Chain A
């Protein structure tokens, strides 16, 4: 029998991530969401018919938007219950009593959720690209770049949800995460408003808000997708780096809070 005092962290991380991913892919609710989202992506075909000579653009635009919304919705719903479900169902009792640090548990759970988001995006992105290919519409690398940016946005939202889930109820976590998602999407608009019409109070708050609020506008490339204008890969890398840093800090804070919790 293996008797290390500190078990290999990679094996533990992999086991937690795989178990989280396995729970997600065996969930009928998630199956339903993916089927519905795929149907919505396909529905862009019908909406595209209503436009004059712009059907290919409408399909790209609507398709990527539906994918983005689905990824964010799954990130919020799964993220807020990522830790709370373990606490409420008491499965946490058999995890934190094993030689697993609580921080590692959170990172493992998040990794499983990230894998789930990746698979969902791959499936829905595949449906969209197949639709474009079958119709013979023009294809651009920006579609792939947009999907990558959407995944980054999903990871940020999932990390925020996980952070709130480390100390709050799923409902509260969900509402606050959704609020931050909306503010994050309006990041540039808020910034402009503060510069032009905001009062002194807003001017004071904005520097703090700029640090705390996620800049989710980095993940949007609607115009580029609509007109098939490729993004520079350095921009994609910058956005990905930002997303990973933001998610990493959120998870680190979640780990610090979770490590101090008593499981009564």
Chain B
């Protein structure tokens, strides 16, 4: 059983007076499972937001199909199981946060006591307790984002779709979003999370989909997608004489002086770095740091983007 299934979703927009075709999405195929945080990453213009708009029923796909808890995408039944935070959300400025959540709760068919209880809980959870009776027109960007997160959760949905949820948030807000996502996962909910900030995705996602030029290139758990190979090793030593430099560089290790005393040795693999380290220790230098850098999500993403560029 999957919570969300997308198979071959595609969308071409027609823009301008001459109805010029712009391909926004070529092939979005992935699924989101229960109790999972799924991240969709890609550069600006990759097709993430178009994918989300198809999933939420804002836009109709030209091709492909999808379902949410077994119900076809875009139907009222599918939307009932969904909570959605748009990128840079806008709300009715004449309402307070309480009124806003009450309104959205009513659209889900919730009765008044449930709406009021849930609104009060969420306002506290997203950190808007101090501004619950303030009109939204007086909200900052970060407060708007928090209100958006609260409205996405008002009906306790099975799947929460978050489009760039940390935009405009301060560090406290960002940590709160992480906590809410973890909390949703702990409750057995599924979270679909789109972002171009890779560290955000890396921190909370169980699986990621990498989207480049309208196509989901690869989907999987982060540890499976990331190359386990060491990409670079850095050794920081102190008190190493300049006379040792030719020997070190002969190992294929670069030499970079850092201030008066320190030297940064950098190699593309572990063996030469370790040889250089041993040489430095024998020469009486003190080791101040050793770091093996493996592939991060950012490297993977760049690798995929480059591969796609080569394909084109």
Contact = CB atoms under 8 A, between A and B. Distances in A.
Contact of A7 (B13, B90, B103, B108): B108
Interface stretch (B51-59, B190-198, B253-261, B273-281): B51-59
* 8 closest residue pairs by CB, A with B: A7-B109, A15-B106, A99-B80, A97-B56, A93-B86, A98-B107, A263-B58, A262-B59
Interface residues of B, number: 36
Given A5-B77, A89-B90, A101-B76, A262 B58 contact: yes
Interface string B239-276: 00000000000000000000000000000000000000
B53 A263 contact: yes
23 contacts: A2-B110, A2-B114, A7-B80, A7-B108, A12-B107, A19-B95, A22-B94, A26-B94, A89-B90, A93-B86, A94-B86, A94-B104, A94-B148, A96-B58, A97-B82, A97-B84, A98-B108, A100-B107, A101-B76, A262-B60, A263-B59, A264-B13, A264-B53
A238 to B, nearest CB: 36
A127 B203 CA distance: 64
Nearest to B158: A3
Contacts of A94: 84, 86, 89, 91, 104, 148, 151
Interface string B73-110: 00011011010101011111011000100011011111
A5 B57 CA distance: 16
A2 to B, nearest CB: 5
Contacts of B148: 94
Given A4-B80, A19-B103, A23-B94, 5 more contacts: A26-B94, A94-B104, A98-B104, A262-B58, A262-B60
Contacts of A126: none
A62 to B, nearest CB: 33
Contacts of A89: 90
B90 A14 contact: no
A135 interface: no
